């Protein structure tokens, strides 16, 4: 049954005002404000941690005032779909100029309905279509204001928003439970790796004190040494600018995840010194950027049809005869190694930096080669099971998120009677 087959469409600028209020440059330097940036709003409309600043110390983009019922929608990096409703804000809440602050005309648009209509899939698609730029797409306020939205009568808007409040709350609760499970599985994955590379896989093995507080006890027959003692070489990557064409692929920071390499985002260059081409068994180490990225390592398995090099903010570790590359990959992706590396990272301009020579002093516990092989096999099987559960859980989250978007679109576009559905 169609709820209202002919929905009135009106441009956003005729049913809401945009960016009504802003802090002036004459604001008292000591005025304390609470600030929402685009990174504080997720794609489901939840607002995360809000920062507090003195006006004098706040980012220059901390200017837009908001009131109860306003909807903020990002006009930069529009693919993030950072859209949220403001509910009972403190009087000093300020949002980034990267948001458009939509204030519904309440005699035309119900504010709760508005938060859903601005998340309807065809509206979001139109925002992205009108955005300009590749790496940093943005939409002009005038273009945003000219996008039409469906405006049924107010009583129908309220029925739609009431229905969607109930149904999206159910979906959001399921998503939150799945995310909690995903977090537990990630913790289990890290714990399995860390225990195997520090304690081994035989619980009956006698232990001894490693002499390193971070390591604790290790199997009595394992050697204890610094990372640099098991490496043949440490090499920095190329600084040549990359593009989408060339003969040699160049790995970048985003290509490293969970000890493996993704080739979907690689750039290319025409030529590279042969000494800076990766060989199977090489490890690629991320030495700079934010702390949550520093220290990440991936193993190059040589499975590509083209030569591969690596960018200057990556470092290549080439293993010596005392260690298996697969074992070292697990070890360097353990919670212990990542935490130690990040504690050694030195702040630089705008980012942190971990000197590979400094990282070379990472204390490690080194089992005999035969035992390294056993640990590698054990972890391959154990982590594969955990990863299968992680992927299934993530897939469920994706399906629920898609279901949420489809439900909003169907209700807003009047494709079913929300009163009967309730």
Q: What is the CATH number of the domain that holds 138?
A: 3.90.220.20
Residues 260, 163 share a domain: no
Residues 304, 237 share a domain: yes
153: buried, middle or exposed (CB in 10 Å: 19+, 13-18, 0-12)? exposed
Residues 173, 270 share a domain: no
- Report the distance separating Cα 15 and Cα 148, nearest Å: 10
Q: Give 107's contacts (C-beta < 8 A, 6+ positions apart).
A: none
Q: Write down the pLDDT at residue 422.
A: 60
Q: Write down the pLDDT at residue 355.
A: 84
Backbone φ, ψ for residue 308 (5° rounding)? -125, 135
Kindly indicate the confidence band of residue 4, based on its pLDDT and cuts at 50, 70 and 90: very low
Out of 25-34, 192-201, 245-254, least confident range: 245-254
Residues 288, 414 share a domain: no
Kindly indicate the confidence band of residue 344, based on its pLDDT and cuts at 50, 70 and 90: confident
pLDDT (tens digit, 9 = 90+) per residue, 166-180?
Answer: 999 999 999 999 999
Residues 230, 168 share a domain: no
- Report the distance separating Cα 226 and Cα 246, nearest Å: 39
Q: Directed axis angle between helix 121-130 and helix 369-412, to 10°? A: 110
Q: Write down the pLDDT at residue 351.
A: 67
Residues 317, 351 share a domain: yes
Q: Which secondary-structure segment (H or E) carries 273? A: none
**pLDDT (average), residues 16-27:** 91
% of the chain with per-residue pLDDT over 90: 60
Please check whether residue 144 is in contact with residue 72, taking contact to mean a CB–CB distance below 8 angstroms: no
Q: Write down the pLDDT at residue 135.
A: 73
Burial 368-391 (b: 16+ CB within 10 A, else e): eeebbebbbeebeebbeebeeebe
Strand partners, 148: 11
Compute CA distances 399 → 176, 184, 393, whole Å: 13, 20, 10
Q: Write down the pLDDT at residue 251.
A: 84
Residues 332, 267 share a domain: yes
- Expressed as residue numbers, the domain containing 108 is 10-151
pLDDT (tens digit, 9 = 90+) per residue, 64-83?
Answer: 999 999 999 999 988 888 99
CB atoms within 10 A of CB 130: 17
Residues 385, 316 share a domain: no
- Report the distance separating Cα 375 and Cα 199, nearest Å: 10
Out of 4-8, 98-102, 383-387, 417-421, least confident range: 4-8
CB atoms within 10 A of CB 322: 16
**pLDDT (average), residues 308-319:** 89
Mean pLDDT computed over every residue of the chain: 89
pLDDT (tens digit, 9 = 90+) per residue, 105-138?
Answer: 999 999 999 999 999 989 999 999 999 987 788 9
**pLDDT (average), residues 378-383:** 96
- Report the distance separating Cα 87 and Cα 90, nearest Å: 9
Residues 134, 104 share a domain: yes
Please check whether residue 365 is in contact with residue 224, taking contact to mean a CB–CB distance below 8 angstroms: yes
Q: Write down the pLDDT at residue 417.
A: 77
Out of 108-112, 151-155, 387-391, 411-415, least confident range: 411-415
pTM above 0.85, yes or no: no
Whether 316 has a pLDDT exceeding 50, the answer reads yes
Whether 47 has a pLDDT exceeding 70, the answer reads yes
Compute CA distances 409 → 121, 231, 243, whole Å: 6, 56, 38
Closest CA to 145 of 105, 202, 188, 93: 105
- Report the distance separating Cα 248 and Cα 244, nearest Å: 10
**pLDDT (average), residues 221-238:** 92
Whether 242 has a pLDDT exceeding 90, the answer reads no
Whether 244 has a pLDDT exceeding 80, the answer reads no
Residues 344, 248 share a domain: yes
Please check whether residue 332 is in contact with residue 295, taking contact to mean a CB–CB distance below 8 angstroms: yes
Whether 183 has a pLDDT exceeding 50, the answer reads yes
Residues 310, 250 share a domain: yes
Residues 353, 234 share a domain: yes
Kindly indicate the confidence band of residue 2, based on its pLDDT and cuts at 50, 70 and 90: very low
Whether 1 has a pLDDT exceeding 60, the answer reads no
Please state whether beta strands 267-269 and 217-219 pair in parallel, antiparallel, or not at all (unpaired): unpaired
Q: Write down the pLDDT at residue 421.
A: 67
Q: What angle do CA 180, 184, 187 make, to 5 degrees?
A: 140
């Amino acid at each position: 049954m169609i709820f209202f087959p002919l929905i009135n469409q009106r441009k956003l600028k005729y049913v809401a005002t945009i960016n009504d209020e802003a802090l002036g440059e004459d604001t008292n330097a000591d005025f304390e404000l609470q600030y929402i940036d685009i990174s504080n709003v997720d794609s489901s409309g939840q607002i995360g941690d809000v920062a507090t600043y003195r006006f004098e110390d706040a980012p220059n983009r901390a200017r837009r005032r908001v009131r109860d019922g306003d909807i903020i929608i990002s006009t930069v990096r529009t693919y993030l779909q950072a859209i949220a409703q403001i509910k009972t804000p403190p009087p000093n809440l300020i949002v980034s100029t990267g948001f458009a602050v939509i204030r519904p005309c309440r005699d035309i648009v119900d504010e709760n309905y508005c938060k859903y209509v601005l998340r309807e899939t065809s509206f979001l698609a139109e925002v992205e279509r009108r955005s300009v730029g590749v790496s940093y797409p943005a939409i002009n306020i005038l273009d945003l204001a000219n996008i039409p939205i469906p405006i049924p009568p107010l009583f129908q808007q309220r029925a739609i928003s009431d229905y969607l409040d109930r149904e999206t709350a159910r979906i959001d609760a399921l998503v939150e439970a799945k995310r909690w499970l995903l977090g537990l599985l990630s913790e289990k994955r890290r714990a399995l790796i860390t225990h195997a590379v520090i304690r081994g896989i035989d619980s009956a093995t006698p232990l001894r004190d490693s002499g390193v507080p971070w390591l604790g006890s290790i199997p009595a027959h394992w050697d204890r040494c610094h990372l640099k003692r098991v490496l043949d070489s440490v090499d920095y990557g190329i600084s040549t600018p990359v593009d989408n064409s060339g003969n040699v692929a160049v790995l970048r920071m985003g290509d490293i995840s969970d000890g493996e390499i993704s080739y979907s985002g690689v750039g290319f260059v025409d030529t590279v010194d042969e000494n800076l081409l990766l060989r199977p068994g090489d490890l690629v180490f991320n030495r700079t950027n934010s702390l949550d990225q520093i220290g990440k390592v991936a193993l190059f398995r040589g499975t590509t049809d083209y030569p591969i090099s690596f960018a200057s903010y990556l470092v290549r570790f080439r293993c010596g005869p005392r260690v298996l590359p697969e074992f070292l990959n697990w070890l360097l992706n353990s919670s212990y190694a990542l935490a130690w590396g990040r504690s050694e990272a030195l702040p630089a301009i705008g980012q942190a930096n971990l000197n590979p020579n400094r990282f070379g002093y990472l204390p490690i516990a080194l089992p005999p080669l035969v035992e390294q092989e056993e640990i590698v096999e054990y972890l391959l099987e154990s982590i594969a099971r955990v990863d299968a559960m992680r992927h299934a859980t993530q897939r469920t989250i994706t399906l629920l998120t898609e279901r949420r978007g489809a439900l909003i679109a169907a209700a807003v576009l009047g494709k079913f009677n929300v009163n009967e559905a309730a």
